[in-house]
């Protein structure tokens, strides 16, 4: 299951230790959402808290929200997700989309699509990538240089060692919402694929990288899996965008959740017997060795999924030499 996107609230004053106020009720949230979402009259804190409360209520007690609140949310989403809204407002609006999609409410889903939620979310993701690209590129370059020198593993330190950046938080929430939409219906998946000039797939693949915090890696792999369910449009678009080497790069992670999602993404694309996909994966440096290593994992999920992925590759006669070479390399590594 996709990890829950984080909900954000403006921090308390750094020199105070007051307890956080209770979240607004459905009625209060409705009142807060009627206020302007952007402009000089917008109340960032009030709107952020209202969105957080609504997202939690939708996820925990769907019947508690009347139809009027749901329709109000759908009408307000374009403004709440727009670049003119405050960053925390946009992030919580994306989280609200994830919760709303989980309700499987037909009229609400139709309203989300009519409100342009897919396009707004893809735009938010692209902006987050642009904002986080210098940091991500620096992290990836440093990790690769250290690995080449034999000083460190290929994968950067876990994201939990440092606070998540605003760009990463925005990317995480947008990815979670796009994954939810892509998996909800064919119509929603098509809207995601067409949004923002068709850039959704490229953005998702760009986040399948060890340079991003682990939560973003998980969210990107979840979104890729959801898009890959569309064999006619989603899967070809992912392959054209380079999803196989991107997902293979996640197999060097020390985080089991990232590993499971990376394997599942690869399995979605290679497990159907497509020899071209299997060949591309086998050609990714170190990919087969990592799959073989994960087959010996004590984690049952990792072991089972990696074994299935290995079987999907080894079944192709043309790939036997690559498989045998990886087996020999693994055996030599175990003996040394």
**Residue spans per domain, the chain:** 52-139+164-256, 271-336
What single DSSP character describes residue 40?
T
- Give CA torsion, residues 176, 182, 185, 191, to 10 deg: 120
Residue range 180-222, pLDDT digits in tens: 999 999 999 999 999 988 899 999 999 999 999 999 999 999 9
Whether residue 73 has pLDDT greater than 80: no
Q: Which residue has the tokens 């899996």?
A: 225
Whether residue 160 has pLDDT greater than 50: no
Write the class of the CATH domain 52-139+164-256: mainly alpha
Q: Which residue has the tokens 């073989």?
A: 292
d(CA 50, CA 36): 13
Q: Which two tokens stand for residue 44?
A: 């960032």
Lowest-confidence range among 35-49, 81-95, 231-245? 35-49
CA-based nearest residue to 183, from 141, 225, 121, 213: 225
Whether residue 1 has pLDDT greater than 50: no
C-beta of residue 96 within 8 angstroms of C-beta of residue 133: no
């Amino acid at each position: 299951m996709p990890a829950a996107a984080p909900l954000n609230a403006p921090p308390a004053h750094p020199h105070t230790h007051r307890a956080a106020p209770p979240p607004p009720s459905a009625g209060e949230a409705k009142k807060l959402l009627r206020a302007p979402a952007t402009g000089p009259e917008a109340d960032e804190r009030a709107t952020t808290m209202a969105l957080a409360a609504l997202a939690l209520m939708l996820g925990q007690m769907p019947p508690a929200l009347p139809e009027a609140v749901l329709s109000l949310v759908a009408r307000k989403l374009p403004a709440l997700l727009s670049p003119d809204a405050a960053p925390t407002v946009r992030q919580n609006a994306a989280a609200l989309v994830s919760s709303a999609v989980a309700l499987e409410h037909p009229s609400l889903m139709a309203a989300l699509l009519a409100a342009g939620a897919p396009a707004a979310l893809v735009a938010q993701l692209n902006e987050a990538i642009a904002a986080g690209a210098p940091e991500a590129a620096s992290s990836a370059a440093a990790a690769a240089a250290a690995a080449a020198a034999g000083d460190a593993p290929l994968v950067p330190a876990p994201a939990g060692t440092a606070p998540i950046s605003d760009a990463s938080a925005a990317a995480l929430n947008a990815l979670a919402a796009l994954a939810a939409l892509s998996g909800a219906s064919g119509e929603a998946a098509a809207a995601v694929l067409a949004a923002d000039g068709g850039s959704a797939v490229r953005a998702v693949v760009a986040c399948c990288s060890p340079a991003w915090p682990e939560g973003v890696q998980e969210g990107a792999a979840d979104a890729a899996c959801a898009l890959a369910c569309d064999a006619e449009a989603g899967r070809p678009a992912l392959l054209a965008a380079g999803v196989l080497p991107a997902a293979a790069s996640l197999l060097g992670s020390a985080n089991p959740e990232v590993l499971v999602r990376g394997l599942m993404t690869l399995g979605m694309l290679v497990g159907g017997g497509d020899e071209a996909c299997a060949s591309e994966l086998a050609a990714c440096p170190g990919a087969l060795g990592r799959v073989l290593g994960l087959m010996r994992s004590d984690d049952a999920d990792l072991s089972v999924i990696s074994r299935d992925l290995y079987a999907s590759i080894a079944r192709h006669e043309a790939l036997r030499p690559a498989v045998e070479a990886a087996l020999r390399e693994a055996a030599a590594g175990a003996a040394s």
